[in-house]
Each structure stands twice: as structure tokens, then as C-alpha cells.
Amino acid sequence: MIYLGLHPPAKIRAIEEYIAAHSVKSVVVISPERFFFDWSPPSGEWLEWRQVIEYKPFYRLLQEIDQRTLVVINECLRKQNRYDLTYNCIRHYLNQAGHQLIFQYLPIIDGRDDFMVLYDFDTQSRWKRTKFDHADFNEASIQVNRASPEFIPVDATATAQERLAYARKREQLFKGLGAKDPHTLPRNLYLQTGKIRLRSIDAGKQYIGRNNRFTLPNLSTYREFVAGPVHGVFELPHNHIDFNDFAYLSGVHALDVLRADLPVDHFYWNRYQDWLKELDYAYAAIQQD
């Protein structure tokens, strides 16, 4: 079964209810360490995401997992490559296990086809060559708790001097791009507009950002965030998975998004609006009556 949008208390209830209803001998929970929650299987273990491909745990678990084993996959949608080595190892475990539960807060990283990683896990990869738009989602039981965030724009106007500095920085980055990854251009330009967004900071609110180069006491970075209230986004991350991790850990549903009136800020805003549309499309397609 696939569960979307759950936090730890609901995950624990789902696991314990499943164990009570089935003949389960042991439980193996596979999860990135950042998303471990306070629950210990009566018999079994937690396996950290990075250990999945390690020789010793892999071959040991292949000998131990059987039809009375429950494998729990917790927040393991980490890569968009459906045939990634870690995913392949997880599928080996699942092919031997008699029971599985799949937990993922958001059904995609960036696009709808990402969901097929989770669907492969729950269907023994019977649809592994099939794209999202051509899959039949009736082969798995999917419980959907929508977790689409709402973005509320908070705009700041650049001065003439800031617009000139932005144009110069853009020209400099274009000239130095060469064979570099073109994504370095918006990443660096977005940092350039931080001073403009800084004027919209509310001292009474908590924010999330890529880094804390302005040493704000009320800002955390995506990578260091653990828990707590957050009211606004100082800047959106370039990699969607960083935002997904934050969304799960924070549980936030509505966020102010600080936005300068310059092209790069609107680039990131539009990019995340497209992501929200893709997220809603995925939810609509997999929602079961």
C-alpha cells in the first residue's frame, strides 16, 4: 500500500494496524536518516538510505527477508532516475518480502513520472517500462492526503541602482558561462537579488532560505532545518527535493514567498507554479474513490 502525505504519528498507526492484521514476523524500515521517527519494530531494524547499496547489509537482508517480513519504505523518493542502483536494491528486498508499506509525503520530486518509482515498489515493477500517463493505478491501494503548499507572493521593488547591478551581474555570468552548467546562471543571479528581498523581511516571522549570508536570526537553511514554525520563503531552492524535504519536516501549508521585481525571481516563481500544477496533476490521476 502507498500512503501519501502522512507525518510520523499517522505512519506509526498505519504500521501497527498492519502488523496487527497480518502474520508479520519482522519489520525492516528503509529511510534516510533525516526522516527517522520514534518507533522501533518488535523484531527487525531500521536501514539507512545510504546503507541500502552496501554489500554487507544487502546480502544479509536478502537471506533474512521472507514472506513474513514487512518492508516499510519511508520517504525514499530521492532520485528521478527510476532505475537507480538504490532503487534496484530496494526492489530486490520487496520481491522477497510478503508485505510492504510505502510512505511518501509528496508524490513527485519534480514531475509526474517520479511517482512511478513508488508505484514500482508496490507492484513488483510490473509497470517498470510505463510512463505515468499510461499507467493503470488500480493495481495498488493508494491513500492520498494532499499536501500541496500555497505560495503567497510578497513583492519588493528594486531601485534603479539595483537594476543596473543586476544587469551587470547577468552580463558577467553570461560571459563566464562557457561550457558550465547553464543552471549556474539563475542560481547566482538569484543570490544577487537577495538584498532586495531583504527589505521584505518581517522580524516577527521565521523564514527558510538557501543560506544565511545576511546572518538573520529568524532564518534557517533548507539543509539544516529540522522542525519548527516557518512563515516565509526568503528564496526558493534550485533543486525541488530540498523544498520537498522542508515541506515534510515543517508540515507547512501556506508560505509567503519574498520576490524581487526582477526576471530571475519571476523565473523561480514560475518554476514553482509549474511544479504545483504537476503536483496537482499527479494527485488527480492517482486519487482513488
**CATH label of the domain that carries residue 122:** 3.40.50.10810
Say if residues 192 and 167 touch (Cβ distance below 8 Å).
Answer: no
Pair (60, 121) in one structural domain: yes
199: its cell numbers: 527589505
Pair (8, 141) in one structural domain: yes
Pair (125, 190) in one structural domain: no
Pair (138, 156) in one structural domain: no
Pair (161, 114) in one structural domain: no
pLDDT of residue 178: 67
Sheet strand arrangement including 254-260: 150-156, 254-260, 232-233, 207-209, 219-221
Pair (157, 84) in one structural domain: no
Say if residues 258 and 157 touch (Cβ distance below 8 Å).
Answer: no
Helix ranges, 65-201 (H): 85-96, 115-122, 160-177, 184-192, 194-197
Say if residues 2 and 119 touch (Cβ distance below 8 Å).
Answer: yes
Instruction: Answer whether 0.85 is exceeded by the pTM.
Output: yes
Say if residues 24 and 68 touch (Cβ distance below 8 Å).
Answer: yes
Structure confidence by residue, pLDDT tens digits, 104-158: 999 999 999 999 999 999 999 888 889 999 999 999 999 999 999 999 999 999 9
Say if residues 33 and 17 touch (Cβ distance below 8 Å).
Answer: no
> Which of 145, 177, 203 is the C-terminal boundary of a domain?
145
205: its cell numbers: 516571522
Which residue, among 255, 1, 245, 287, has the nearest Cα to 145 in the 3D structure? 287
Total number of domains in the chain: 2
Pair (202, 238) in one structural domain: yes
> Which of 145, 163, 191 is the C-terminal boundary of a domain?
145
Average confidence score pLDDT of the chain = 94
Handedness of CA 124, 130, 131, 136 (dihedral sign): negative
Pair (21, 135) in one structural domain: yes
- Could you tell me the residue range of the domain that residue 196 belongs to? 150-285
Pair (165, 139) in one structural domain: no
What φ, ψ does residue 143 adopt, rounded to 5°?
Answer: -100, 120
Say how far apart CA 84 and CA 254 lie, in whole Å: 33
Structure confidence by residue, pLDDT tens digits, 3-59: 999 999 999 999 999 999 999 999 999 999 999 999 998 899 999 999 999 999 999
